[in-house]
Amino acid sequence: MSYTAPIKDMLFDIEHLADIAKVAQMPGLEEAGLETAQAVLEECARFNQDVIAPLNVEGDRNPSSFKDGQVTTTPGFKEAFAQYVAGGWQGLQHPTDFAGQGLPKTIGAACVEMLNSANMSFALCPLLTDGATEALLTAGSDELKAVYLEKLVSGQWTGTMNLTEPQAGSDLALVRSRAEPQPDGTYKVFGTKIFITYGEHDMAENIVHLVLARVSGAPEGVKGISLFVVPKFLVNKDGSLGARNDVHCVSIEHKLGIKASPTAVLQYGDHGGAIGYLVGEENRGLEYMFIMMNSARYAVGMQGIAIAERAYQHAVAYAKERVQSRPVDGSVKASAPIIHHPDVKRMLMTMRAYTEGCRAMAMTAAAAYDAAHHHPDADTRKQNEAFYEFLVPLVKGYSTEMSLEVASLGVQVHGGMGFIEETGAAQYLRDAKILTIYEGTTAIQANDLVGRKTARDGGQVGKAIAAQIEKTEAELAKRDSADAKAVAKRLTAARQAFIDVVGFVAGQTKASPNAVFAGSVPYLMLGGNLVAGWQLARSLLVAEDLAKAGTDVPFMKAKIATARFYAEHILNKAPGLRDSIVDGADSVTALALEAF
C-alpha cells in the first residue's frame, strides 16, 4: 500500500493555524517562511514515499533479528538509513552550529509525521537520536558536545534513551544501575536496561547510549539519578572509533508491533564496567532526561497522527475499490463500492476528523514551541512556553489514544480482509498500540497534565486557553453558515465542560488526590478533544473565507465538512467526560481491592 503525504493539509495548518509568517519573523528563523516549508515538505514527501514507505510491510514480515550479540535489521533498512543520512534529514530541526539545518518545529513536525507514516519502525531510530541530541545540547559539556553532536545531528551515529529496568518502568525511583567514578573523571557503569529502542543495530557505525544510573553514595529515589553518555564504541581523540565498550545486547523482544524496530535488553559492565561520561551534574539526571522525554513525547504524538493518516489512506483506497451491497438510498441500482454506504463514510470521517484535528493541534503546539525559543519578547516566550507545555501531554496522550481507535476502524473498514495480515491494515493497529505506552503511558501524561500543568498554577494556563477558545466561538457566532453555528454550539459546550474540570482539578488535587487522579485520563481526553476541535473550528473560519474567495474550493469545503463532523461526532463527547470526572470520581475507587 503506497503512501501519499498530505502536504496540502499540512501546509494549510502551517500557514493558517501555526502562522508561519509570524514564525519567520523571529530571529534565527528568517528563512523559514511558507515557501521554505513548501519546498522542504515536497522534498520530504518524495523521499518518504519512494524510499521509506515501501519498507514498512517488509519490516513487519521480516523484523530485526538477534544473534550472538548482533542485531540485523530488516533487509533494505541499512541502505535506506544511509540515504536518510545523506539527505541531511536527521539535522532538520537541529542547530546549524552542529551542522543541522536549524528549521523551526513548525516545519520539522510535518517531516516527522511523514517519516512515521512511511515507516514507524524505521522512524524510531531518528526519533531516539533526536532525544539524545536534545539532552546533550541542553546539558552536555563543551567536550561532550564536540565529540558527539555533529555525528548525531548528521545521523552518522545514532542515539538511545536508557531509562527502564526490569523493576523500574514508570517508577524511576527504583533505578538500580550504578556508576562508579574513576580517577580520570569517567565512570564505570553497571546494570541491566530493558526496552531500549534501537539499543543495538547495524545501520550506524556507533550508538550513543544515554543512561540513567546512580553514582555510588547518591541519595535514594529520583534525586540520586545521574545521566551518562555510554558509547558503543569509545571515541579516540581524533574522533575515530576506538575500543568496543562494555555494553552488550543480550536479547531483543518479540512484540505485538513495530517489529522492525529492535527493542533491546542491554547489559552494562559485565566485563569490568562500561565507560561512561557524566552529562551535566551528578544527581540531576532526571531533569535532563525530562528534556529528552518532552521532545520525544511530542514526537510520539506525531507518530499517532502519522499512523492514523496511513491507516486512513489504506482504508479509503479499499473502500473505493471494494464492491458490496446496494446503497440504502437506492442511488445505485447494483452493488456499489462500500464508500457509498453511510456507516463506511462514518468510519472514514471519524478517522479523517481525528487525524486532521490532532494534526492541527500538534502544528499549533509546534508554533508555540518555536515562539517559546525564538521570540524576541520574553513575556511572549513565557506565554508560548506555558501553552506548549500544557499541550505536550495532550499531543502525546490524545493523539496516540485516537490513533488506536483510528487504526482499529481501519481494520473494520476492510471487513474480513482486515483480519488477514497480508492486507496490511492490521499492522497499523499492532504498531499503534505501543504509542499509548512508551515515553510515558497515557496515565503518566495525564499525571503531568494534572500535577505540573494544572494544579501547580491553579489552572491558569487551562483557563487562558478556554478564554482563547471563547474568542473563536465569538468569531463563529458572526458567521451565517449552519456549519459555523453547529461547530460553535459543540465548542461552547466542550469549553464549558473543560472549565468545570480545570476548576475541579485545580481545586481538589491537594484535598482529594484520589478523586482527581481517578479522572486524570478522562481529563486528558477532554482537553485533547477540545483543543483539536478548537483548531478545526479555527480551520473552518479560514476555510469559509478562502472558499468565498474562490481559493481551492473543494479542499476548503472538505475542511469545513471535516470540522463540522468532528464537532458533532467527537467534540460532543466532552460533556459526558465532564460528568464522569466531576461527578463520578468516587465510583472509580469504591471497589474493595479484594473484590477485584
Catalytic positions are 439
Among 77, 122, 195, 398, contact with a copy of itself (rule: CB under 8 A) = 195
**Rounded distance between C-alpha atoms, residue 554 and residue 418, angstroms:** 30
> Which range in 137-145, 224-232, 354-362, 518-526 contacts a copy of itself by CB under 8 A?
518-526
- Cβ within 8 Å of residue 432, ≥6 positions away: 257, 304, 307, 308, 311, 400, 403, 404, 406, 407
Find how far residue 19's CA is from the centre of its chain: 21
Pairing of strands 241-244, 274-279: unpaired
Shortest spacing between CB 426 and a copy of itself, in angstroms:
4
Looking at residues 59 to 118 of the shown chain, list those that interact with a copy of itself (rule: CB under 8 A).
none
Among 67, 184, 272, 590, contact with a copy of itself (rule: CB under 8 A) = 590
Q: 54 and 117 in contact (C-beta within 8 Å)?
A: no
Size of interface with a copy of itself, in residues (CB under 8 A): 97
- Cβ within 8 Å of residue 312, ≥6 positions away: 348, 351, 352, 355, 406, 410
DSSP string, 428-461: HHHHHTTTTTTTS-HHHHHHHHHIIIIITTTTHH
Looking at residues 549 to 588 of the shown chain, list those that interact with a copy of itself (rule: CB under 8 A).
554-555, 557-558, 561-562, 564-565, 567-569, 572-573, 575-576, 579-580, 583-584, 587-588
Among 352, 374, 375, 396, contact with a copy of itself (rule: CB under 8 A) = 352
Among 513, 548, 549, 551, contact with a copy of itself (rule: CB under 8 A) = 513
Q: According to the binding rule CB under 8 A, does residue 518 interact with a copy of itself?
A: yes
Q: According to the binding rule CB under 8 A, does residue 496 interact with a copy of itself?
A: no
> Which range in 80-88, 180-188, 325-333, 356-364 contacts a copy of itself by CB under 8 A?
325-333
Looking at residues 127 to 166 of the shown chain, list those that interact with a copy of itself (rule: CB under 8 A).
164
Looking at residues 438 to 467 of the shown chain, list those that interact with a copy of itself (rule: CB under 8 A).
438, 441-443, 446
Among 403, 408, 454, 529, contact with a copy of itself (rule: CB under 8 A) = 408
Q: According to the binding rule CB under 8 A, does residue 169 interact with a copy of itself?
A: yes
Q: According to the binding rule CB under 8 A, does residue 480 interact with a copy of itself?
A: no
Take residue 339 and report the three cell numbers written for it: 464508500
Shortest spacing between CB 16 and a copy of itself, in angstroms:
18
**Rounded distance between C-alpha atoms, residue 87 and residue 81, angstroms:** 10
Binding mask 355-384 for a copy of itself (x = CB under 8 A): ------------------------------
- Cβ within 8 Å of residue 368, ≥6 positions away: 384, 385, 387, 388, 391
Looking at residues 283 to 322 of the shown chain, list those that interact with a copy of itself (rule: CB under 8 A).
316, 319-320
Shortest spacing between CB 468 and a copy of itself, in angstroms:
24
Looking at residues 235 to 274 of the shown chain, list those that interact with a copy of itself (rule: CB under 8 A).
253-257
Q: According to the binding rule CB under 8 A, does residue 397 interact with a copy of itself?
A: no
Alpha helices in 322-377 (DSSP H): 342-374
Pick 73 or 447: Cβ nearer a copy of itself: 447
Pick 298 or 565: Cβ nearer a copy of itself: 565
Pick 468 or 508: Cβ nearer a copy of itself: 508
Which amino acid makes up residue 421? E
Pick 31 or 586: Cβ nearer a copy of itself: 586
> Which range in 107-115, 283-291, 343-351, 539-547 contacts a copy of itself by CB under 8 A?
343-351
Pick 9 or 370: Cβ nearer a copy of itself: 9
Pairing of strands 241-244, 187-197: unpaired
Cα→Cα distances 541→224, 475, 497, Å: 51, 8, 23
Q: Other C-beta atoms within 10 Å of 250: how many? A: 14
Shortest spacing between CB 128 and a copy of itself, in angstroms:
15
CA-based radius of gyration for the chain: 24
Pick 1 or 558: Cβ nearer a copy of itself: 558
Q: According to the binding rule CB under 8 A, does residue 419 interact with a copy of itself?
A: yes
Pick 151 or 352: Cβ nearer a copy of itself: 352
Pick 156 or 325: Cβ nearer a copy of itself: 325
- What is the sign, positive or negative, of the torsion defined by CA atoms of 342, 347, 348, 350? positive
On the 0-12 / 13-18 / 19+ scale of CB atoms within 10 A, 317 is middle
The dihedral region occupied by 550, where left means phi > 0, alpha psi between -120 and 50, and beta the remainder, is: left
Shortest spacing between CB 92 and a copy of itself, in angstroms:
29
Looking at residues 522 to 541 of the shown chain, list those that interact with a copy of itself (rule: CB under 8 A).
522
Shortest spacing between CB 425 and a copy of itself, in angstroms:
9
Q: 165 and 174 in contact (C-beta within 8 Å)?
A: yes
Q: Which residue is listed with cell 493555524?
A: 17
Pairing of strands 263-268, 178-181: unpaired
